[in-house]
Amino acid sequence: MTETKVHDVIMVGAGPAALAAAVYTTREDIETLLFERGVVGGLAAVTDMVDNYPGFPDGIEGLTLAENLRKQAERFGAVIELGEVTNIAKEGKLLKLETTSGDMLAKTVLIATGSDYKKIGVPGEQEYYARGVHYCATCDGAFYRDKRLVVVGGGNSAVQESLFLTRYATHIDLLVRSELRASEVLQHDLQKMVDAGKITVHLQTATNEIVGEDNHVVKVVGTDNASGKKIEFPADGVFVFVGLKPNTEFLKNSAIELDEIGLVKTNEDLETNITGVFAAGDVRSGSTMQIATATGEGATAALRIREYLEGHKQTS
């Protein structure tokens, strides 16, 4: 029987955190395999322009940044495989990963699966995704120049993105399920756009359905929670900003500790409660959800993985 190969480190995810970590581990001659179920580069790859990543005074396209990170990691020997990890468990001194390519063994694991945009789960949302329904204003806002938009959400991101979308849209209806939760500064800026007639805020308004015709969105149907009446909002597009959801569903049956919203708990060395399993980036509890900090955490995790492997070598 063929002996199962034991990898030095398997990284779950191939976004900025994992790619940065892979640059560091491979340069240290640590054999590195990355598993990615979706897009290499994560949310960064589907962000139109990244303006706050250090070293790019004019900004950089998210796809370009992701591609550069991938090329750099692969140049030093990182291997990226498309597939999905479905569980992680201890197996003696090693770690067993159940994957769509079969079970794999590793000395260390880095969880860097990031987060994804939360969905509101209404009819039409999935059907018109990328054809009128969007989750990134900087990515897709320019498609709606001189158009009417609906934005769903009441937190900082919803207000921030609504303000950004006023660059393009003739009018924005902001649908807030309960009350605005955005910061005072953002609410002050929002009020300026309300006074200018660019944005109308609809508090206590539920979003029930996104309606389309001929392959494009035409309106959003909502409910006034106070009166119970249905309201229709004409719209050429809908932007949903109701937060991020960590990609940790595959850990639900594992022993790895998650916080109340599903983010991975770590100590100050980015190690989880399972020895040899580390986490970095947007999936980690306490993360700032920024690309720059994700790459920084990836580098830190790589150094901790190296220390772990060196210590393991001495005691084995």
Give DSSP secondary structure letters for the chain: -PPPPEEEEEEE--SHHHHHHHHHHHHTT--EEEEESS-TTHHHHT-SEE-SSTT-TT-EEHHHHHHHHHHHHHHTT-EEEE--EEEEEEETTEEEEEETTEEEEEEEEEE---EEEPP---TTTTTTBTTTEES-HHHHGGGGTT-EEEEE--SHHHHHHHHHHTTT-SEEEEE-SSS--S-HHHHHHHHHHHHTTSEEEETTEEEEEEEEETTEEEEEEEEETTT--EEEEE-SEEEE-S-EEES-GGGTTSS--B-TTSPBP--TTSB-SSTTEEE-GGGBTT----HHHHHHHHHHHHHHHHHHHHHHHHH-
Q: Write out pLDDT tens, residues 193-222.
A: 999 999 999 999 999 999 999 889 999 999
Summarised one tens digit per residue, pLDDT across range 67-111 is 999 999 999 999 999 999 999 999 999 999 999 999 999 999 999
pLDDT higher than threshold 90 for residue 3? no
Averaged confidence pLDDT in the chain = 93
Per-residue pLDDT at 138: 75
> Please, what sign has the CA dihedral across residues 122, 126, 128, 130?
positive
Q: In terms of C-beta density within 10 A (0-12 exposed, 13-18 middle, 19 or more buried), how is residue 133 classed?
A: buried
pLDDT of amino acid 1:
39
Backbone angles phi, psi at 21, to 5 degrees: -60, -40
pTM of the model: 0.76
User: Rounded to whole angstroms, how far apart are CA atoms 132 and 18?
Assistant: 31
pLDDT in tens, 166-187: 999 999 999 999 999 999 999 9
pLDDT value at position 140?
84
Domains of the chain (ranges, CATH numbers): 6-116+244-315 (3.50.50.60), 133-240 (3.50.50.60)
Q: Which pLDDT value is given to residue 43?
A: 83
pLDDT band at 225 (very low <50, low <70, confident <90, very high): very high
d(CA 290, CA 241): 16
